[in-house]
Structure 1
């Protein structure tokens, strides 16, 4: 077994691990990067990239049959499901070199394509190597959680790790799970010509603002997706090419089954106890993302047990790098982390929800909003469904929710404001090109100041006096 000594050993070559590896190596550290599966992790191979690629195909198909009243006749799209999946594969293949082993070896990093585990507090072992490191970063990501549903182990079911390999268009896709992955794939498959039923034990998109999610769910159901909420899947069976899911409220039969009920962190193979690394469902870390029991060890991304998004893993890398390179005690926050669900309309959020804001700040919370149907660009493009809602405390935004066209893009302005402690005046003072959807954000900021300017008797008195004596 070959022995290696290094400054940083990173386990996992997804978004977080790759970012730490590239940053550390380019600053002069000796880095070992270990990946037992695919470079690029879940996001590139099974998550963000393939799902958004398939959504693009679905959006194109839907746009042909639903052009709106803009002088263009509708046409029945000819959907080639296998070709849509080939499009997904081409997108992944195009992006893959950025995350490739060759690229990172070009940074001077030793890349080992093996599974890794702890030997002791500062030693990692693979089948062929023993790595002793001054700092160890766990960036192993997560995998689809498969719930213990009776009969599921005897059924040909899909997860996000197998869905994108499917080339046969499902006649009727049943989705267990009404979270972001489940709802995105449900709408995409409906737009590609499949019958779709979603079974959710609680409330679909239940982690987002209820007022905003109702807009999304109304549209998805309008398109023909059958949404079953408040019913847990109790039993699954397969017979004659059909799969049946039984719930407390009834049974639902389709041709294919997608299980999308959540994620579990990939820590089972790591032998964390040998490394004195405390853990439960994820690595137990402090605000510095450092193990609470082994100060050599850090965790980033899903392995840190916080919000499970690719951009969070990248952010975590930026928190960890100053610590392992320079010993700076940087800390991770969550109050400024945005997320988006890429349904149509899109749903995006950053900071506190309205309920959280009221619980934390009580009567100091002011809610301001602006609707898409009052935005000139939205009117011109017939994308008038949706709104932006901003929660403001003492002049500063503490949370924002957007539902509507390009919500994932528009949330960026509020993410920047919250991350940098900006006031609403910074948004209202920003000059934006006309006509753009981004003006929705500016108009929401204006809605915060309007009562102070236009519904204030003192302001009106001052204006009258100035006008009376102004030369």
Structure 2
């Protein structure tokens, strides 16, 4: 066994782990990074990057089939599913060097391509190495959750870790799970010429604002996606090419391929956390506001910490840990300003409180400011008028924003900035947006908040009349 002493040991080379390793090493710490699978983790290899690449292929096909409103003849797209997967591979390959072992070794990081297992509260084994570190950061991420549905082990099925390697277009794709992953993959595949059925045990996009989710679901249904809600799966049967999914209420769905998209589970099985005195919860590793585990030398970040499971959250967590572990400064993770987006068409994005949560928390002090896409000139020009923005406002400050529509994932950035910095609606209203842009919608929401105060306020009208009458 080779013994290594290091300042910072990072277990997992996904988004969060790489951010910690790069930042800590470049600031002068001795850093060791463990990765037993692929550099870049789930996001690069199986998640955010390949899914958005496949969505882009679907968007290109849909554009050919839906061009008539712009004066361009509709054509039936000639879809090469394998070539679309080549596009996915090329996108990953273009980004891979940024997450490569060579790049991080160039930063001075010691990279060991092995899984890590705790031997004690202070030591971790990785292959032939035993590592002791002043601080350990667990960034092992999450994997697809595959529930023990009767019969599932008897049929072939895909997860997000395998679907992007599929080279032959599914004739009829069954997707169990109507969350963001399921809905994104449903729309991408229906646009690439597949028949698609989504089977959701509760409500599709059930964690999002119901009004906004309905806009997305109506759009997907209009494109041909069958969405079965309140359809709790009871059994799976059949064989390759003819898979049957039965639900508790007696419905049966038959398709050629099956994608499991019911959620994620934290990657903790290999870690031997008990040896390190690290407690877990049903969602992952137990952490405090500083992302410390029950072993004060060890932090957990990203998906494995059991909170919001987004790549950008892992990156945010990395900054919290660097501040604490490297500089000994107090630093706490918040969630109130964390946005998320579902990259369907139309997109759906959220930051802070939804309308329902804001009403529960703030009651009569809550105000809703809203602006619809069909009043935006750029949206009209591009025939992207479906959707709306609504901001939840308390005492002049936004506490949440919901956006559904074209480029919602881009528009939500401003509201995340507002919540992170406790901005007022007046500061958003003071922004000048170039005309005509989709981004102007954000300013118009602020305008919608102030309009009643200006145009329906009798005192304002009396002041204006006085000024016009008496001030030269």
TM-score normalised according to structure 1 size: 0.99
- Structure 2 Cα separation of the partners of residues 370 and 205 of structure 1: 22
Instruction: Judge which range, 257-266 or 278-287, deviates more.
Output: 278-287
1:127 correspondence with 2:127: yes
RMSD over aligned CA atoms reads: 0.7
Q: Residues 142 and 303 of structure 1 are in contact (CA less than 8 Å); yes or no, is this contact kept in structure 2?
A: yes
1:83 correspondence with 2:46: no
Q: Give 1:240 deviation, angstroms.
A: 6.2
SS in 2 for 1:461: helix
Match of 1:23 in 2: 23
Query: Which runs of structure 2 are paired with 1:29-44 in the superposition (5 Å)?
Result: 29-44=29-44
- The one-character-per-residue Cα deviations of 1:9-58 (angstroms, maximum 9, x if unpaired) are 00000000000000000000000000010000000000000000000000
Q: Give 1:426 deviation, angstroms.
A: 1.1
Q: Give 1:127 deviation, angstroms.
A: 1.8
Match of 1:156 in 2: 156
1:391 correspondence with 2:398: no
- Structure 2 Cα separation of the partners of residues 252 and 353 of structure 1: 33
- Structure 2 Cα separation of the partners of residues 12 and 162 of structure 1: 20
Q: Residues 26 and 107 of structure 2 are in contact (CA less than 8 Å); yes or no, is this contact kept in structure 1?
A: yes
Q: Give 1:465 deviation, angstroms.
A: 0.6
SS in 1 for 2:316: helix
Match of 2:290 in 1: 288
Match of 1:109 in 2: 109
- Structure 2 Cα separation of the partners of residues 16 and 47 of structure 1: 14
Q: Gapped runs of 5+ residues in structure 2?
A: none
Q: Residues 367 and 392 of structure 2 are in contact (CA less than 8 Å); yes or no, is this contact kept in structure 1?
A: yes
Query: Which runs of structure 2 are paired with 1:177-256 in the superposition (5 Å)?
Result: 177-239=177-239, 241-248=241-248, 249-256=250-257
Q: Residues 156 and 240 of structure 2 are in contact (CA less than 8 Å); yes or no, is this contact kept in structure 1?
A: no
Query: Which runs of structure 2 are paired with 1:449-460 in the superposition (5 Å)?
Result: 449-460=450-461
Instruction: Judge which range, 5-14 or 272-281, deviates more.
Output: 272-281
SS in 1 for 2:341: strand
Q: Residues 242 and 256 of structure 1 are in contact (CA less than 8 Å); yes or no, is this contact kept in structure 2?
A: yes
SS in 2 for 1:158: coil
Q: Residues 68 and 382 of structure 1 are in contact (CA less than 8 Å); yes or no, is this contact kept in structure 2?
A: no
- Structure 1 Cα separation of the partners of residues 44 and 230 of structure 2: 32
Q: Residues 199 and 228 of structure 2 are in contact (CA less than 8 Å); yes or no, is this contact kept in structure 1?
A: yes
- Structure 2 Cα separation of the partners of residues 8 and 465 of structure 1: 69
Match of 2:260 in 1: 259
Query: Which runs of structure 2 are paired with 1:340-359 in the superposition (5 Å)?
Result: 340-359=341-360
- Structure 2 Cα separation of the partners of residues 460 and 411 of structure 1: 35
- Structure 1 Cα separation of the partners of residues 58 and 69 of structure 2: 20
Match of 1:366 in 2: 367
Q: Residues 198 and 227 of structure 2 are in contact (CA less than 8 Å); yes or no, is this contact kept in structure 1?
A: yes
Match of 2:322 in 1: 321
Query: Which runs of structure 2 are paired with 1:297-446 in the superposition (5 Å)?
Result: 297-446=298-447
- The one-character-per-residue Cα deviations of 1:60-113 (angstroms, maximum 9, x if unpaired) are 000101124121111110000000000000000110000000000011111010
- Structure 1 Cα separation of the partners of residues 281 and 212 of structure 2: 33
Q: Residues 284 and 305 of structure 1 are in contact (CA less than 8 Å); yes or no, is this contact kept in structure 2?
A: yes
- Structure 2 Cα separation of the partners of residues 267 and 425 of structure 1: 46
- Structure 1 Cα separation of the partners of residues 69 and 161 of structure 2: 39
SS in 1 for 2:275: helix
Q: Residues 240 and 257 of structure 2 are in contact (CA less than 8 Å); yes or no, is this contact kept in structure 1?
A: no
TM-score normalised according to structure 2 size: 0.99
Q: Residues 237 and 243 of structure 1 are in contact (CA less than 8 Å); yes or no, is this contact kept in structure 2?
A: yes
Q: Give 1:238 deviation, angstroms.
A: 2.2
SS in 1 for 2:270: coil
- Structure 1 Cα separation of the partners of residues 244 and 300 of structure 2: 40
- Structure 1 Cα separation of the partners of residues 118 and 238 of structure 2: 41
- Structure 2 Cα separation of the partners of residues 140 and 455 of structure 1: 55
Q: Gapped runs of 5+ residues in structure 1?
A: none
- The one-character-per-residue Cα deviations of 1:243-290 (angstroms, maximum 9, x if unpaired) are 110112311110000000000000011000000111123110000000
Match of 1:170 in 2: 170
Match of 1:278 in 2: 279
- Structure 1 Cα separation of the partners of residues 84 and 240 of structure 2: 27
- Structure 1 Cα separation of the partners of residues 156 and 102 of structure 2: 36
Count of aligned positions: 470
Instruction: Judge which range, 159-168 or 120-129, deviates more.
Output: 120-129
